[in-house]
Structure 1
Amino acid sequence: MINFEGDILEDQQATINLDNRSFNYGDGLFETIRVINGKIMFWEDHYFRLMASMRIMRMEIPMEFSPEFLEEQILILIEKNNLSQKPVKVKINVFRKSGGLYKPTTREIGYSIRTYELNNSFYILNENNYEVELFKDHYVNSGLLATLKSTAKQINILGSIFAEENDYDNCLLVNENKSVVEALNGNLFVVKGNVIKTAPIKDGCLNGITRKKLIEIIKKLDDFTLEETSISPFELQKADELFITNVIAGIQPITKYRKKNFTNTVAKQLLAKLNTTARLG
């Protein structure tokens, strides 16, 4: 069952019309959330990112869209799907209501909420081989729009096809300045000695929630220095570790990029701290 604009419907009952603006123009946003035994992880961060993204997209935020209202809608749906005692992935889609061409006739929004059962309650390090390559056919345009979880993800789609066709597990995206921005499905961190780097938001990387939490964790550690700075492709093969972060996987270590193999010592250490933060948060 899904939540479609406040109504709990069977999956087959929930349909969109062909004038849907997210379908026609990518005029939509989404938020992916992890819920464990009825507890929404980092809910405040997800909520405020969604609201900020809607403001950037000049969408009209409904009066009832309080954090309490949306949290209740999520938990009701989880209960309806008999997932209250399970780890769950929740996806919220927000889209501007139909009308107009590029210029919308309204700024009102519709929304949907869906749930998917996950295998593990907390993050487990995937230590399988995980090889990546740069995707250079298209560039991420640095700037505010690139930081949003919008429904216009052509680069991510084409990069995923490229990875599949060339037997890579993921690809790293670069912006118009040839700086490495992120992976197809999450933010990138580069470890060299005791310095951990990640791309700054201004370079066009996703404003990731796990990225934010990991930055907070690293800044409290005496053993490491965190730098939000542009990353050159030449730095990748010189790194000790590379890893990707997102709200579903947590931390995914990269084991190989071109001729360089990487360890996962720091990733393993940080994943333990991320799990602790999730339990407390």
Structure 2
Amino acid sequence: MVNLNGTIKSHNEANITFDNRGLNYGDAVFETLRFSGGKIYFWEDHYFRLMASMRILRMEIPMKFTMEFLEDEILRTLKSIEKKDGSYRVKLLVWRKTGGKYTPETNDVEYAISFEKLHNPFYVLNEKRYEIELFKDHFITSGLLSTLKTNNRLINILGSIYAKENDYENCLLLNENKQVVEALNGNIFLISGTIIKTPPLSDGCLNGILRKQLISIIKMLPDYILEETSISPFELQKADEIFITNTIQGIVPVTKYRKKKFVDTMAKVLLPKLNLKARMG
């Protein structure tokens, strides 16, 4: 089932017009949410990121788009299925209404909410092989727009095809300054000794919800120093540990990059703290 502008419909009935601006111009933003244990993980952070993204893209935010209204719409959508318990990946997509070419006729918006089942009710560590490589065919442009969750994801798509063709689980993306920015589907953290690094938003990495949560957790660890700083590709093989973070998977430890193999020590320390924060937050 899909919630299209407040109306619950089947996937076959939930149609959009051919001149949809999200389809034609990428004029859309979205949030990917994790629902488990009867609640949306870190909903307040997701909501304020969505509002900030809409403002940056000069979309008109409807008066009814309160945090309570959108949460109720998500929960109402999930209640449309027979089995209401469990864990779900929810996507909240907002696009500017049809009209105009590059210059919109209106800044008013429409929205859709969809979901799919998840297997685990909480975050778990992947214990399998997880080898990564750099994707160097195209680069992320550092700056504000790259930090938003828009549906302009061609670099991520091409990088994912490259990873699949070359038997990698993921790839790391670079910006125009050849600094490591993020993975194809999440932010990255690099651990060397007691130093934990993650790229700054100014380098063009996604303003990730899990990134924010883990930064706050790491800052509470007395034996480690967190640095939001640019990361050179040359640092990757010198690191003790690398992991990728996103809202759906949580923490994903990297096992290998080229000839270097990594441990998952810090990931195992952070995971229970993240699960606790997700349930309490």
Q: TM-score, normalised by structure 1?
A: 0.99
Alignment of structure 1 residues 113-128 onto 2, 5 Å:
113-128=113-128
Alignment of structure 1 residues 59-74 onto 2, 5 Å:
59-74=59-74
**Residue 15, structure 1, aligned to residue 19, structure 2:** no
Alignment of structure 1 residues 109-258 onto 2, 5 Å:
109-258=109-258
For the residue of structure 2 that corresponds to 1:47, the secondary structure is helix
For the residue of structure 2 that corresponds to 1:252, the secondary structure is strand
Alpha-carbon shift at residue 83 of structure 1 (Å): 4.5
Alpha-carbon shift at residue 37 of structure 1 (Å): 2.7
| Contact map agreement 1:138 1:155 (CA 8 A) in 2 | yes
Amino acid at match of 1:123: Y
Structure 1: gaps (5+ residues): none
- Distance, in Å, in 2 between the alignment partners of 1:83 and 1:117 is 11
- Distance, in Å, in 1 between the alignment partners of 2:231 and 2:129 is 23
Sequence identity percentage = 62
User: Does 164-173 or 33-42 show the bigger shift?
Assistant: 33-42
Amino acid at match of 1:64: K
Amino acid at match of 2:26: G
Amino acid at match of 2:71: E
Amino acid at match of 1:20: N
Structure 2: gaps (5+ residues): none
For the residue of structure 1 that corresponds to 2:79, the secondary structure is helix
For the residue of structure 1 that corresponds to 2:12, the secondary structure is helix
| Contact map agreement 1:83 1:117 (CA 8 A) in 2 | no
RMSD across aligned positions (CA): 0.7
- Distance, in Å, in 2 between the alignment partners of 1:83 and 1:244 is 31
| Contact map agreement 1:38 1:84 (CA 8 A) in 2 | no
- Distance, in Å, in 1 between the alignment partners of 2:83 and 2:65 is 23
Alpha-carbon shift at residue 88 of structure 1 (Å): 1.0
For the residue of structure 2 that corresponds to 1:32, the secondary structure is strand
- Distance, in Å, in 1 between the alignment partners of 2:81 and 2:229 is 43
Amino acid at match of 2:206: L
Amino acid at match of 2:188: L
| Contact map agreement 1:132 1:171 (CA 8 A) in 2 | yes
Amino acid at match of 1:277: K
Q: TM-score, normalised by structure 2?
A: 0.99
For the residue of structure 2 that corresponds to 1:267, the secondary structure is helix
| Contact map agreement 1:37 1:84 (CA 8 A) in 2 | no
Relative distance call for 1:278 and 1:228 in structure 2 (3 A) is: same
Alpha-carbon shift at residue 140 of structure 1 (Å): 0.2
User: Does 33-42 or 193-202 show the bigger shift?
Assistant: 33-42
Alpha-carbon shift at residue 82 of structure 1 (Å): 3.3
Alpha-carbon shift at residue 99 of structure 1 (Å): 0.7
Alpha-carbon shift at residue 14 of structure 1 (Å): 0.4
- Distance, in Å, in 2 between the alignment partners of 1:96 and 1:62 is 12
For the residue of structure 2 that corresponds to 1:156, the secondary structure is helix
For the residue of structure 2 that corresponds to 1:150, the secondary structure is coil
For the residue of structure 1 that corresponds to 2:50, the secondary structure is helix
Runs ≥4 in structure 1, deviation > 6 angstroms?
none
